[in-house]
Amino acid sequence: MVGVLHENITVNDGPLTSDNAALLRPSDPNLPLEELRQRYEQDGYLFLKQAIPREDVLDARRRYFDYLAPTGVLKEGSDPVQGIFNPIKSVDDYPGIGAGAADGNGRPGGASAAEFVDRAIEAHYKDWYVDKLCNHPALYALVARFTGWGQNTLTFKRTLLRNNTPGTRPIGVHYDQIFIRHGEPTSITAWVPIGDVKMNGGGLIYLEDSDAVGQKLEADFTAKAKQAGMSEEEARSAFNSNMTANAMLSDAPADFAKEHGHRWLVSAYEAGDVVLHKPHMIHASTVNNDPDNVIRLATDIRFCDSSKPYDKRWMNFYRFNDGV
């Protein structure tokens, strides 16, 4: 143990310890609404414990791994809901979707990964995922009530089912508005772990008090784009020359935290938990170092107030190279 943190929590460029990390603050969804809103405003995120029925989330996990099992990704004889990576396979043939395996949001892996990648993409369109999880009434009701948007609450169709196989490169440092620039920064992201994630199992991490940092960076990017004479279209692109190839602020979370003088906030997660975060809140993911080789599966579902201008590109399902 390193302080209160679990051991072997790492990011792309090194370990997270009590020197550069602390724990994410959990919230009981039954706290008064005003208290929840105040926490969200203050922290830039709201980590809701058991906010949606655990069994429903585990059902989605089971269906997902049942669907991917023919590719040989799972340990022989293991129960699909566990999602245990097959120890006799190479992770190169099972590259994570929506992490850091491909440039931009292109297709990861070569020919030997094709079936796995195809199925991981097809899963985005299945009723057991779209209807049963993304459009879960408990999640929708939670967001509609929390935001006060009521019936104007719109669930973006575009989501990313991110399957981080053990040891693979996780997503780098970013804030979500970079990808939603065709709309006002009024959206809200719900990060939903699909299964339990150990503290060192590849969960999402947030840069403490970073909503303001993200807002400042966004303002700087806009100014730089103007100076460089970028067209409006290019300035709004997530993949312009202000960013890394993956549209990230950085691929080195430990360095980034040091440079900005903030800590990363980490947590274990359970199926049924939901983290809401603001459009400029800075986050990344840890490397999946799960000692039991559990594949980390999660999705991010975004919501907006449909009475305001929003990014229409998000009303299509995710596909590779969709430019978003």
Residue ranges that bind Fe ion, judged by CB under 5 A: 176
Per-residue burial over 279-307, b = 16 or more CB atoms within 10 Å of its CB, e = otherwise: bbbbbbbbbbbbeebbbbbbbbbbbbbee
Lookup: tokens for 317: 């399902």
Spell 67-91 as b/e; 16+ CB within 10 A means b: bbeebebbbeebebbbbbbbeebeb
Least CB distance to Fe ion at residue 175 (A): 7
Instruction: Please give the single-letter amino acid code of residue 184.
Output: E
State yes or no: residue 189 binds ligand AKG (CB under 6 A): yes
Q: Which of 50, 8, 29 is nearest to 199 (CA)?
A: 8
Q: Could you tell which of Fe ion, ligand AKG, none binds residue 39, using a CB distance below 5 to 8 A set by kind? A: none
Shortest spacing between CB 189 and ligand AKG, in angstroms? 5
The whole-angstrom separation of Cα 56 and Cα 255 is 38
Residue 107: contacted member of ligand AKG, Fe ion, none (CB under 5 to 8 Å, by partner type):
none
Q: Looking at residues 70 to 129 of the shown chain, list those that interact with ligand AKG (rule: CB under 6 A).
A: none
Does residue 173 interact with ligand AKG by CB under 6 A? no
Residues 267-286, interacting with ligand AKG (CB under 6 A): 283, 285
Q: How far is the CB of 228 from ligand AKG (least distance, A)?
A: 27
Residue 24 in contact with ligand AKG, rule: CB under 6 A: no
Q: How far is the CB of 107 from ligand AKG (least distance, A)?
A: 18
Which one of 9, 84, 294, 298 is in contact with ligand AKG (CB under 6 A)?
A: 298
Interacting positions 152-171 with ligand AKG (CB under 6 A): 162, 170-171
Q: Are 200 and 9 in contact (CB under 8 A)?
A: yes
- Looking up tokens 């043939």 gives 93
Q: Which of 196, 300, 305, 311 binds ligand AKG (CB under 6 A)?
A: 300
